């Protein structure tokens, strides 16, 4: 139950701080399928600390705002090109994915691998990256029966371990080359890898290459599709609830105006936009079961005795649709978050010390993109039929069918084109 979950995190915060181990005793880096017997997992404690202090500190997140602005403006330009003065159909799923991956890879290594406007689009390096990441995500989303029936591990049931190890090696080769390339540059830039390489010079045992690779994988896995999926679900909800879209547009027009574009620093003026995102995360959390935790000692959660070393999986999706906790639980109502304290009931980013360290950045990035798209375009559904909200099993909770919508530029779009 949600109450028990909260209690467990407040009382026994430390208890759920371990990662599962795989057969050979190594810490499993990620999720049910373990992303291969990934050796980065062993460094997890260091990774988590470095993420908080060096990679996702508020200062560094703000320092990347120019990248987010540039990528969002490119997105507006792309959509404006595809539509004209009249409504035109656009496909949003891959558009959002390309943008979030470009955003992240620019922060990590200063590279853009996605979209027609990428200078690297057709080179082997970009193809290799796109293929490997797709393969890793596909495998990470597979439910591994051996996680629940441990004896199956002895047979590598369904060959998952082998596939994961192969793909992980491919990723490792790719990121090693990326680090080598950045290291050989005469001048350091401001990317995450460059920043960590500078720190490596003074503390080589702490900021090792393994740690840099682990961070790259963590950021790519945790920070890209989650934001892309949130944008996608938010849009589905807006298209199915035109009255909410109208209210969000009104907020933007009155708080920011019709003749200048929204800036990231102005997001605090748009509480309704934020509530749309919170309500989207409530009904469609990108990580519906969070990330599995393991009890490091015997504990009791909600009256259940959990022995030490047990895989604990939290059904965040279920808690966020629980009618005992939320009125009209399955309806999309951003207004519910106007009531003080409602947002505290959300678990979309997890809770406690293993909660998502990218929450601030994610909320910032998603709000900014959504705000700008509402400001720059008129939107409607492709047909009178409601958008189909079926979900698919992937690493994150994503839409089964790609999202298509009709969009028409508003005059303000010229500001982004210029
Ligand atoms: C809307 C977007 C996002 C959502 C909904 C989300 C949600 C989550 C959730 C539920 C967890 C697991 C928490 C738990 O098991 O208790 C998590 C972990 C994590 N997230 Fe996010 N996340 C998002 C965006 C990001 C971004 C943008 C980044 C980085 C730039 C990021 C980095 C991480 C990392 C590194 C972890 C692992 C933390 C650990 O295990 O200690 N996330 N996220």
Nearest CA to ligand 1 atom 14: 350
Contact 179, 212 (CB under 8 A): yes
In this predicted structure, what is the pLDDT of residue 416?
73
What was the pLDDT predicted at 52? 81
Instruction: Examine the pLDDT at 93 and tell me if it is beyond 80.
Output: yes
Q: Whose CA is nearest to atom 39 of ligand 1?
A: 354
| Ligand 1 proximal residues by C-beta, below 6 Å | 48, 51, 56, 218-219, 222-223, 226-227, 230, 281, 286-287, 290-291, 348-350, 354-358, 361-362, 366
Q: Residue 405's beta-bridge partner residues?
A: 90
**pLDDT grade for 1, boundaries at 50, 70 and 90:** very low
Contact 215, 56 (CB under 8 A): no
Tell how far the Cα of 186 is from the centroid of ligand 1, in angstroms: 34
Q: 41 CB contacts (<8 Å, ≥6 apart)?
A: 19, 26, 27, 28, 29, 30, 214
Q: Which domain holds residue 69?
A: 2-417
* 100 CA to centre of ligand 1 in angstroms: 14
Chain segment 203-243, per-residue pLDDT in tens: 998 898 988 888 888 888 888 999 999 999 999 999 999 99
| pLDDT surpasses 90 at 25 | no
CATH of the domain at 377: 1.10.630.10
Measured CA to CA, the distance from residue 310 to residue 253 in angstroms comes to: 52
Which residue stretches of 147-267 are H helix?
A: 160-184, 192-202, 209-223, 225-240, 242-255
Instruction: Find out whether 356 is annotated in a ligand binding site.
Output: yes
pLDDT score of 332: 98
pLDDT for residue 8 is more than 50: no
| Max Cα-Cα span within the chain | 64
What pLDDT shows up at residue 158?
77
pLDDT of 6 higher than 70:
no
Judged against a pLDDT cut of 90, whether residue 107 lies above it is answered with: yes
Q: Which atom of ligand 1 is nearest to the CA of 365?
A: 27
Q: Provide the number of structural domains found in the chain.
A: 1
Taking residues 184-203, report their average pLDDT. 89
- Please check the confidence at residue 411 and state whether its pLDDT lies above 50: yes
What distance in Å separates the CA atoms of residue 17 and residue 313, rounded to the nearest whole number? 13
- pLDDT given at position 143: 66
Among the residue ranges 69-78, 111-120, 221-230, 382-391, the one predicted with the least confidence is 111-120
Count of Cβ atoms closer than 10 Å to residue 148 Cβ: 11
Structure ipTM: 0.99
Stronger pLDDT, 209 or 159, i.e. the higher one: 209
Hey, whose CA ends up nearest to atom 40 of ligand 1? 354
Query: What's the pLDDT band for 414 if we cut at 50, 70, 90?
Result: confident
Residues 229, 398: contact at Cβ < 8 Å? yes
- Are the C-beta atoms of residues 103 and 418 closer than 8 Å to each other? no
Please say if the pLDDT value at position 26 is more than 60: no
Average pLDDT, rounded, for the chain: 83
Q: Which of 116-125, 171-180, 222-231, 356-365 has the lowest mean pLDDT?
A: 116-125
Evaluate if residue 7 carries a pLDDT over 70. Answer: no
Beta bridge partners of 262: none
Q: Which atom of ligand 1 is nearest to the CA of 19?
A: 40
pLDDT cut 70: percent of the chain above it: 86
């Amino acid at each position: 139950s949600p109450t028990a979950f909260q209690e467990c995190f407040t009382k026994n915060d430390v208890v759920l701080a371990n990662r599962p181990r795989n057969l050979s005793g190594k810490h499993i880096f990620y999720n049910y399928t373990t992303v291969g017997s990934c050796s980065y997992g062993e460094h997890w404690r260091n990774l988590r600390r470095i993420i908080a202090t060096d990679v996702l500190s508020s200062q560094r997140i703000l320092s990347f705002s120019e990248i987010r602005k540039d990528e969002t403006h490119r997105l507006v330009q792309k959509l404006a090109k595809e539509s004209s003065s009249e409504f035109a159909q656009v496909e949003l799923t891959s558009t959002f994915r390309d943008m979030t991956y470009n955003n992240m890879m620019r922060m990590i290594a200063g590279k853009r691998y996605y979209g027609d406007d990428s200078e690297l689009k057709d080179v082997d390096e970009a193809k290799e990256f796109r293929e490997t990441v797709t393969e890793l995500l596909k495998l990470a989303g597979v439910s591994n029966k051996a996680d629940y029936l441990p004896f199956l591990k002895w047979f590598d049931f369904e060959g998952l371990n082998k596939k994961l190890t192969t793909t992980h090696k491919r990723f490792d080769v790719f990121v090693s080359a990326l680090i080598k390339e950045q290291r050989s540059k005469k001048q350091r830039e401001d990317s995450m890898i460059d920043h960590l390489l500078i720190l490596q010079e003074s503390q080589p045992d702490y900021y090792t290459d393994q740690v840099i690779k682990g961070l790259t994988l963590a950021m790519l896995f945790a920070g890209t599709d989650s934001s892309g999926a949130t944008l996608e679900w938010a849009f589905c909800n807006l298209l199915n609830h035109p009255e909410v879209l109208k209210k969000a547009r009104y907020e933007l027009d009155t708080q920011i105006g019709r003749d200048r574009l929204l800036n990231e620093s102005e997001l605090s003026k748009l509480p309704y936009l934020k509530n749309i995102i919170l309500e989207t995360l409530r009904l469609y959390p990108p990580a519906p079961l969070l990330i599995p935790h393991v009890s490091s000692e015997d504990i009791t959660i909600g009256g259940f005795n959990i022995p030490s070393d047990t895989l604990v999986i939290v059904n965040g999706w279920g808690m966020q649709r629980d009618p005992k906790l939320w009125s009209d639980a399955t309806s999309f109502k951003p207004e519910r978050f106007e009531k003080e304290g409602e947002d505290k009931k959300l678990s979309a980013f997890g809770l406690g010390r293993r909660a998502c360290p990218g929450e601030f950045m994610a909320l910032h990035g998603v709000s900014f993109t959504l705000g700008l798209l509402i400001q720059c375009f008129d939107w409607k559904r492709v047909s009178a039929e409601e958008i189909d909200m079926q979900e698919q099993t992937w690493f994150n909770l994503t839409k089964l069918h790609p999202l298509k919508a009709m969009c028409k530029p508003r005059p303000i779009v010229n500001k982004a084109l210029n």
